[in-house]
Amino acid sequence: MYLKKMFLPTLKEAPADAEVASHRLMMRAGMIRKVAAGVYNLLPLGLRVIHKVERIVREEMTGAGAQEVAMPMVLPAELWKESGRWDIYGKELLRLKDRHEREFCLGPTHEEAITDMVRRDVRSYRQLPLNLYQIQTKFRDEIRPRFGLMRGREFIMKDAYSFHATDESAEEEYRNMYGTYSRIFERCGLYFRAVEAETGPIGGSFSHEFMVLADTGEDSIVSCNTCSYAANIERAGIRPPDGASLPLTGAKGIEKVSTPGMKTVEEVSGFLNVPPERLIKTLIYRTGKGVIAALVRGDFDINEAKLKRVLGADTFALADEKTVKEMTGADVGFAGPVGLKIPVYADFSVRDMRDGVTGANEKDAHIINVIPQRDFSAGYGDLRKARQGDPCPRCAGALEIKKGIEVGHIFKLGTKYSEAMGATFLDEKGVERPVIMGCYGIGIGRCAAAAVEQNHDENGIIWPIPLAPFHCHIVPVNVNDKDTMKAAEQIYSSLTAKGYEVLLDDRDERAGVKFKDADLIGVPVRITVSSKTLKQGSVEIKERSKEGARLVRIEDTVKDVGTLLEG
């Protein structure tokens, strides 16, 4: 491609709203342009990168036995009502009506659509297993889209769904996809980790997220410094304390103290001069199973995802002030487990406390010398949010917390959708059963953005070769010099003939401008052609990822480039 003909508008400055490197650089490199909040145009250079990611995904998915399909982006409400998600998916689901006032939505994910597709034609276990995928534009009306392609409202996703007659088959496919995903992200040149994850509104029994490690990531991931344990922070377990209770003898009885206006852990801790780890924090939640209290040590935080899972509640939220007052008899800030009439769930960190301090369920009062198991009873579990250095749930190691970008997610769904929507088959014995499902997603645009996030410097993008929009970038220093242009065009032709994708900067610009743009765009190999080096029969070859250029004989250029690109 000759640059003069290409629609490649680069920018010296990025728009003020571009905060992270990938967003700034993709804007500046002329890859993307914003159309509305979280909605982007893909310009030629950007689309080339997206196509590279898609190609890798297609090759690996096909290689793993999956088949590509295409489903509509506009989906009828009936399907979503059948699964029950029309009412629970919330405002992220963009709903619309057609001219006949029939309800539709823009597909944020396609479990309903694919289950409908399969139930129409799958009758027998002989037709299973099946893995179908598509690469398609999705729409989720995110509360706060940001970071360019990283978290758009409209985005390209590869979503695959598998259908099985048996659990074993579904789990085998889960492992197959786990391996496939690992290969895909390796081929994309991404530094990633697979972590155990929450299943969220998609549902299902277990799942892994594939996280690209980057400081700008929006997710926190927890990993063990000793064993291979890794999980999303929402999921991350913590090894409970050994449970050897301290002797109760000599302990004082509980005592009420006045704490006017002291509501937060910090206030109470400061006022009574006791460290936060001696406080018992009490949170009141309104759940599908009634109002409950959750306890955690004052310096820790409740992990709501874990609590929700322990409760098995479908709805779950912190209680409002009114509910708190009704249930505890006191304003928010003075709740405590002693004498409370609602079910109490406590984190292990509370179990072995001695001389604890907690709310008295009475305005402006706390009680001290509290001993769990003596002064109140509760169900104990691992309910708190993991912190740096917490003990690993699997081994004697310690947990570390890092930031990550979720680029892929695999779920074993089970029969949630097939049961709700009647996707059944007859097994060997002629018994009708719901198909067992799995689903597997990859954010295509997010992979491209994550690649930039991991591979850039102050001058621009440094594309990993498999995702690079072009393989090499020829810069004729002076396009008005006939010999220079002739040599540049010759190199262009021979590289193109070898199957490489080549960009030739034929603009009549100063060398500095072209070098700056070349660095910004980040094509892996740059070939500089100038009368200076042509006199010695050579050109300059520079790798974007390395400092310094080498002189190479013109006739060796193709071979040299080939070595760089193919290793």
Write the burial class of residue 253 (CB in 10 Å: 0-12 exposed, 13-18 middle, 19+ buried): exposed
- Report phi then psi at 493, rounded to 5: -65, -45
Toward RNA, which CB reaches closer, 424 or 459? 459
Listed ranges 9-17, 252-260, 263-271, 430-438: which one lies at the site for RNA (CB under 7 A): 9-17
Listed ranges 142-150, 250-258, 321-329, 419-427: which one lies at the site for RNA (CB under 7 A): 142-150
Is 480 a binder of RNA (CB under 7 A)? yes
How many residues interact with RNA (rule CB under 7 A)? 60
**Contact track, RNA, 505-534, x by CB under 7 A:** -----xxxx-xxxxxx-------x-x-xx-
Report 106-135 residues binding RNA (CB under 7 A).
108-109
CA distance 519 to 262: 57
* Chain Cα centroid distance, residue 157: 12
Is 38 a binder of RNA (CB under 7 A)? yes
Toward RNA, which CB reaches closer, 218 or 364? 218
Toward RNA, which CB reaches closer, 113 or 371? 113
Closest CA to 224 of 73, 389, 60, 420: 389
Among 5, 12, 252, 429, binds RNA (CB under 7 A): 12
Report 196-215 residues binding RNA (CB under 7 A).
198-202, 209
Q: Quick one: tokens of 402?
A: 């890092």
CA distance 526 to 304: 51
Toward RNA, which CB reaches closer, 318 or 426? 318
Is 16 a binder of RNA (CB under 7 A)? yes
Is 19 a binder of RNA (CB under 7 A)? yes
Is 476 a binder of RNA (CB under 7 A)? no
Toward RNA, which CB reaches closer, 165 or 447? 447
Is 22 a binder of RNA (CB under 7 A)? no
The per-residue b/e assignment along 116-127, b for 16 or more CB within 10 angstroms, e otherwise, is: bbbbeebeebee
- What angle (nearest 5°) sits at the alpha carbon of residue 74, between those of residues 68 and 79? 90
Among 14, 94, 342, 564, binds RNA (CB under 7 A): 14
Give the shortest CB-174-to-RNA separation in angstroms.
Answer: 15
Toward RNA, which CB reaches closer, 1 or 549? 549
* Chain Cα centroid distance, residue 536: 52
Q: Quick one: tokens of 326?
A: 């009704």
Give the shortest CB-126-to-RNA separation in angstroms.
Answer: 32
First to last CA, the chain: 24
Is 409 a binder of RNA (CB under 7 A)? yes
Q: What is the DSSP letter of 471?
A: S
CA distance 409 to 252: 52
CA distance 475 to 452: 23
Report 366-405 residues binding RNA (CB under 7 A).
none
Toward RNA, which CB reaches closer, 83 or 528? 528
Is 323 a binder of RNA (CB under 7 A)? no
Angle, helices 44-63 vs 167-187, to 10°: value is 140
Among 52, 85, 110, 138, binds RNA (CB under 7 A): 138
Is 544 a binder of RNA (CB under 7 A)? no
Listed ranges 124-132, 368-376, 378-386, 473-481: which one lies at the site for RNA (CB under 7 A): 473-481
Closest CA to 438 of 172, 68, 136, 76: 172
Toward RNA, which CB reaches closer, 263 or 516? 516
Is 450 a binder of RNA (CB under 7 A)? no
Closest CA to 274 of 295, 261, 257, 260: 257
Type and span of the H or E element at 493: helix 482-497
Q: Which residues lie across from 195 on neighbouring strands?
A: 209
Among 21, 24, 25, 28, binds RNA (CB under 7 A): 28
Listed ranges 43-51, 291-299, 438-446, 461-469: which one lies at the site for RNA (CB under 7 A): 438-446
Q: Quick one: tokens of 38?
A: 């979280």
Closest CA to 472 of 542, 559, 551: 542
Q: Residue 370: helix, strand or coil by DSSP?
A: strand
Is 10 a binder of RNA (CB under 7 A)? yes
Beta-carbon neighbour count of residue 317 at 10 Å?
11
Q: Quick one: tokens of 316?
A: 């779950």
Among 59, 78, 92, 266, binds RNA (CB under 7 A): 92
Toward RNA, which CB reaches closer, 30 or 336? 30
Residue carrying the six token digits 């291979």: 228
- Report phi then psi at 520, rounded to 5: -65, -45
Closest CA to 438 of 76, 180, 159: 159
Is 458 a binder of RNA (CB under 7 A)? no
**Binding site residues, RNA, CB under 7 A:** 10-17, 19, 28, 36-38, 92, 108-109, 138, 140, 143-147, 155, 157, 198-202, 209, 218, 304, 406, 408-409, 441, 443, 446, 459, 477-478, 480, 510-513, 515-520, 528, 530, 532-533, 540, 542, 549
